[in-house]
Amino acid sequence: MNDNGRYEQEHSGGLPEGIIYRAVEPEALVMRPHRKIRTNVILFLATLCTTLFAGAILAEVDPFSRPQLIYKGIPFSVTIMSILLSHELGHYLMSRRHNVDATLPYFIPAPTFIGTFGAVIKVNSSVPDRRALLDIGATGPIVGFIVSIPALIIGLKLSQPMVDTAAGISFGSSLLLEIIAGRLFSSIPEGYAINLHPVALAGWIGLLVTMMNLLPVGMMDGGHIAYALFGDRHYDISRAVVAILLIMGMVGWFGWAIWGILNVMFGLRHPSPTHPEVPLDGKRKLVGAIAVIILILTFVPTPFSVR
C-alpha cells in the first residue's frame, strides 16, 4: 500500500514467460496508446541475436571461429521467438480486449543455451473481473501450446536416431511427447536415442514453458486461472503446489525446489479483480478445464538430466 492508499504489486509470471501485474485504483484504468515501444524493439532485436547465436551452437556451428555460418541458427531462433511472441501476444491482445492497460512484450536476452530468459508483459491497471482474469491468464499458454505443437512435430521429423552415449544432457519426456514421438519413431533400435533437431528443441522448450506457467501457484498464468476458478482458495492451492514442488525437488529434479522458492519470492497471494463477484460462465470454465488438460499432457517430471 503506498502513500496514496493504492495497492501496487509487480510480478513476473515466471521464466521464461510471464505477466507483470500492477493493480491500482479504477481511475487508473486508462489505456496508453502512445506508449513508447523503443525498449520493446531493442530487447526484441537483442533477443533475436542471442537466440540466433544459441541456435548456431545447437546446430554444431562455432559462431566465433566460423561467423559466416551463423545463419544455421535461424531455424531455432525463428521458432523459439515465434513461440514466445505468440504466448505474450495472447496475453496482450486479450488484455486490450478487456480494456486492461498492458504493454507490448519485453523480451529478455540471456547468455543461456537457448539465448533468452523468455519474455514478459506489464499490466498497469486492475483486471475488471474473474472472466477477464481467466481470459488473460489462459490465452497466452494456450496459444503458445498451439504454436509449439507443429514446431515439435516438424522438428522431430527433421531429427535422427543416434547411438545413446553414456554422457550428455537428456531432455525429459511428457505424456504428449511420448505420444507424438511414438508415432514418428515407432521402431528405434535398442541403444539408440533421438538426437533433437534445433526446431524440435524449440518446440520442446515451448511445451516446457507452457507447463511451468500453467502451474496453479502465485501469479503464474496457472495462478491467474486458479484465482479465476476458485477465488480466495487460490492461496491454499498455491501453498500446496509449492509444498509439492519442494518435495519433488528433494526426491527428484532439484530444479523444482528452486522453482518453488522463486514462486514464494514472487508472492503466493493474488490481487483481487475490481469486481470479484462477477461469476465465470460455462465457456470460461471449459477454458480452465482445457488449461488443466494441457498441464497434464505437458508435465515433465525431470526436464533435464546430465549423464
- pLDDT at position 8: 39
What would you measure as the largest C-alpha separation in the chain, in angstroms?
68
Name the residue ranges covered by the structural domains of the chain.
17-306
- Tell me which amino acid residue 188 is: I
- pLDDT at position 20: 52
Q: Does 173 score more than 50 pLDDT?
A: yes
Q: Does 239 score more than 70 pLDDT?
A: yes
What residues contact 77, with CB distance under 8 A and at least 6 apart?
48, 51, 52, 54, 55, 115
101-132 pLDDT per residue, tens:
999 999 999 999 999 999 999 999 999 999 99
Per-residue pLDDT, averaged over 43-52, amounts to 98
- pLDDT at position 19: 55
Band of pLDDT at residue 294, cut at 50, 70 and 90:
very high
- pLDDT at position 288: 97
Sheet strand arrangement including 106-109: 17-21, 116-123, 106-109
- pLDDT at position 16: 47
- pLDDT at position 219: 93
Predicted model pTM: 0.87
- pLDDT at position 70: 96
- pLDDT at position 306: 79
- pLDDT at position 167: 67
- pLDDT at position 163: 76
